């Protein structure tokens, strides 16, 4: 987890990469890395997701590549075998947490309530995904959770955009923010990868301003 934390302290934005083929996933990743974002979450939402993950992890040694939308132990094992260096889930599943811990891979399970945050903490998790962030109470809810779970860090995802990124990053307990606004489907479909690079650079500039 230390490598992931250190990287996110420097670049506290995690883009989501979703593609139906490995070549496209690689081009998206290249555009993001060019823009300065080097922590990449390849989401397991397409039939080719594991192939995309394996290719991105192999072809981008300067990036820290993980798997997102991991729903069960089988997916977790497959993602780790494909090269994932961290695991992100939309919810809290004890089997996924245990499998990642056994493999020595960082895991960020999704939580939206104090009960889930407490359970994750007591399972040995140090950083959780706060999801869906905008629907679950936004920065205000994060401040409330952080006030009682002082040893947890949070990665809010869901409804994050350039308009509110700074609000989330201003919460001290927030390690980083995740989101798909950095890889718009229209830009991917039309091959406008320079636009993705621009969004990555913009996000980093916003993050730097928010963190002072």
Q: What is the pLDDT along the chain (212 residues), one digit of tens a residue?
A: 689 999 999 999 999 999 999 999 999 999 999 999 999 999 999 999 999 999 999 999 999 999 999 999 999 999 999 999 999 999 999 999 999 999 999 999 999 999 999 999 999 999 999 999 999 999 999 999 999 999 999 999 999 999 999 999 999 999 999 999 999 999 999 999 999 999 999 999 999 999 97
Length of the chain: 212
CA geometry: angle 126, 128, 153, nearest 5 deg: 55
> Any catalytic annotation for residue 41?
yes
Q: What is the pLDDT of residue 203?
A: 98
Q: What is the pLDDT of residue 2?
A: 81
Q: What is the pLDDT of residue 212?
A: 78
CATH 3.20.20.70 fits 2-198, yes or no: yes
Q: What is the pLDDT of residue 130?
A: 98
Catalytic site residue from 9, 34, 41, 51: 41
| Sheet-wide strand order for 127-130 | 110-111, 127-130, 153-156
183, 196 contact by CB (below 8 A): yes
In the chain, where are the structural domains located?
2-198
Q: What is the pLDDT of residue 208?
A: 96
> Any catalytic annotation for residue 143?
no
Catalytic site residue from 129, 143, 195, 202: 129
- Per the listing, tokens 């040995």 go with 124
């Amino acid at each position: 987890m230390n490598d992931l934390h250190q990287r996110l302290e420097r670049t506290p934005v995690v883009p989501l990469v979703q593609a139906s083929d490995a070549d496209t996933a690689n081009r998206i990743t290249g555009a993001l890395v060019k823009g300065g974002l080097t922590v990449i979450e390849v989401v397991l939402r397409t039939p080719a997701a594991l192939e995309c993950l394996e290719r991105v992890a192999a072809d981008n040694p300067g990036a820290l590549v993980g798997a997102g939308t991991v729903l069960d132990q089988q997916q977790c094992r497959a993602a780790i075998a494909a090269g994932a260096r961290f695991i992100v889930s939309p919810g809290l599943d004890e089997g996924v947490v245990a499998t990642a811990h056994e493999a020595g891979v960082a895991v960020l399970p999704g939580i939206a309530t104090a009960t889930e945050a407490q359970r994750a903490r007591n399972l040995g998790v140090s950083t959780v995904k706060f999801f869906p962030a905008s629907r679950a109470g936004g920065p205000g809810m994060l401040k409330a959770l952080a006030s009682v779970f002082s040893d947890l860090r949070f990665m809010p995802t869901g409804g994050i955009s350039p308009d509110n990124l700074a609000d989330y990053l201003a919460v001290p307990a927030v390690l980083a923010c995740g989101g798909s606004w950095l890889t718009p489907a229209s830009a991917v479909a039309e091959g406008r990868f320079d636009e993705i690079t621009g969004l990555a650079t913009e996000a980093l500039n916003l993050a730097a301003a928010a963190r002072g």
